[in-house]
Amino acid sequence: MILYVVVVIAGGKKLLSRKQIIFFSCYQNKLHIRSCFQKSLNAYLMQNRICSLFNIKYPIIQGGMVWCSGWKLASAVSEAGGLGLLGAGSMHPETLKEHIQKCKRATDKPFGVNVPLSYPQIDELMDLIIAEKVKIVFTSAGNPKLWTKKLQNEGIKVVHVVSSSYFASKCEDAGVDAIVCEGFEAGGHNGREETTTLCLIPTVRKTTSLPLIAAGGIGSGSSMMAAFCLGAEGVQIGTRFALTKESSASDAFKNYCFNLKEGDTKLLLKKVMPTRLARNHFSEQVEEKESQGASESELRAFLGRGRAKKGIFEGDLIEGELEIGQITAQINRMQSAQEVINEIIVEYNEILQQVKAEKGL
């Protein structure tokens, strides 16, 4: 700033040539860029708001996933320095209770529960979460206003998953502690707007100052770095963890997904609940019905009950619903949750070192 004032005054009094003024202005600009990068460096070094909020080492969250994220996966992720989430969406309240208790025995690190707000016995489930003294809840598929304050009054941190900036501002009104922005690439249920992660994060960043967690198509250190450049401070990863050793998905489902290529997943069932599905006999039947203009009730009747359990958990690759994200095309082998986190962190730090070296930091 001082340099800037001196250059302006000296320039005005013709004490400096035009070339000298340009040189000093560029230098000033470089100093400004450097100081901005230094200010935000803590976020890139992973000593950021997401790590402090959950008291975790790495800002990597394992998304709650029906039929995949039980206590084995959640505790393995938390033990490896991320945040594991139990996926309550596919558990009866008593099953969730068992998983919470097993998770507590398996790790003394923080973990949380993901609750889709469309859950039928939601009151019972939330009472159980409070009684079990779970400290972190990620809600999705519903209105964040309904539960946020009640949970926060019990000392629980609440994060809500959104797919648009409109819903992000609803989260801000509801007073959540952080937001997950989940893009079109993601496995599981998806937003109707079909906004990709690359477009969603910067748009949401402009609408709120809350800590953001990026989700959808993230599975490497470089994609985590990209999300951070766009304004996220954490990442929520589903697909890559769904295909790890500790995931409770069937081996048949995992092996099927290892062989999927680009274009082998599609967003279907938009009239019911937009869901990204791997191509199989079931998804082809859905596609055919949709192209023939099937109504919501026809699609619901065809879907029936328990399709996701059939596909993901029981490994029925023909009639089951196989929920998985686009990034499955980049995953071709089974790893442990610990290996996944290590790989991401190593790659992330390599890129960070390169950037720092280039910027002379």
Ligand X SMILES: Cc1cc2nc3c(=O)[nH]c(=O)nc-3n(C[C@H](O)[C@H](O)[C@H](O)COP(=O)(O)O)c2cc1C
Does residue 163 bind ligand X (CB under 6 A)?
Answer: no
Identify the residue among 43, 68, 151, 181 touching ligand X (CB under 6 A): 68
Where does this chain touch ligand X (CB under 6 A) — which range of 20-28, 43-51, 63-71, 345-353?
A: 63-71
Count CB neighbours of 206 within 10 A.
10
Does residue 89 bind ligand X (CB under 6 A)?
Answer: yes
Question: Cα–Cα distance between 157 and 176 in angstroms, integer?
Answer: 8
Position 259, amino acid: N
Does residue 325 bind ligand X (CB under 6 A)?
Answer: yes
- Using the minimum distance from each CB to ligand X, give the nearer residue, 16 or 267: 267
Estimate the crossing angle of helix 221-229 against helix 337-359, to 10 degrees.
Answer: 50
- Could you identify the residue written with the tokens 């998985």? 324
- Judged by CB under 6 A, the number of residues near ligand X is 30
- List, in order, residues 6 or more apart from 324 with CB less than 8 Å away: 187, 239, 242, 257, 260, 265, 276, 277, 278
H or E element in which residue 214 lies: strand 212-215
Q: Supply φ then ψ for residue 91, to 5 degrees.
A: -125, 140
Estimate the crossing angle of helix 281-291 against helix 296-303, to 10 degrees.
Answer: 160
Does residue 66 bind ligand X (CB under 6 A)?
Answer: yes
- Using the minimum distance from each CB to ligand X, give the nearer residue, 219 or 231: 219
Q: In this structure, are residues 70 and 248 in contact, taking their beta carbons and an 8 Å threshold? A: yes
Identify the residue among 93, 187, 191, 221 touching ligand X (CB under 6 A): 187
Identify the residue among 182, 246, 264, 321 touching ligand X (CB under 6 A): 182
Does residue 324 bind ligand X (CB under 6 A)?
Answer: yes
Identify the residue among 216, 221, 231, 234 touching ligand X (CB under 6 A): 216
Instruction: Give the three-state DSSP class for 63.
Output: coil
Nearest approach, Cβ of residue 262 and ligand X (Å):
14
Where does this chain touch ligand X (CB under 6 A) — which range of 164-172, 211-219, 220-228, 349-357?
A: 211-219
Does residue 221 bind ligand X (CB under 6 A)?
Answer: no
Closest CA to 175 of 163, 200, 154, 157: 157
Site string for ligand X, 4-33 (x = CB under 6 A): ------------------------------
- Exposure on the CB side of residue 282, measured as CA atoms within 13 A: 25
Residues that bind ligand X (CB under 6 A): 63-66, 68, 87, 89, 114, 116, 140, 161, 182, 185-188, 215-218, 236-239, 242, 312, 323-325, 327
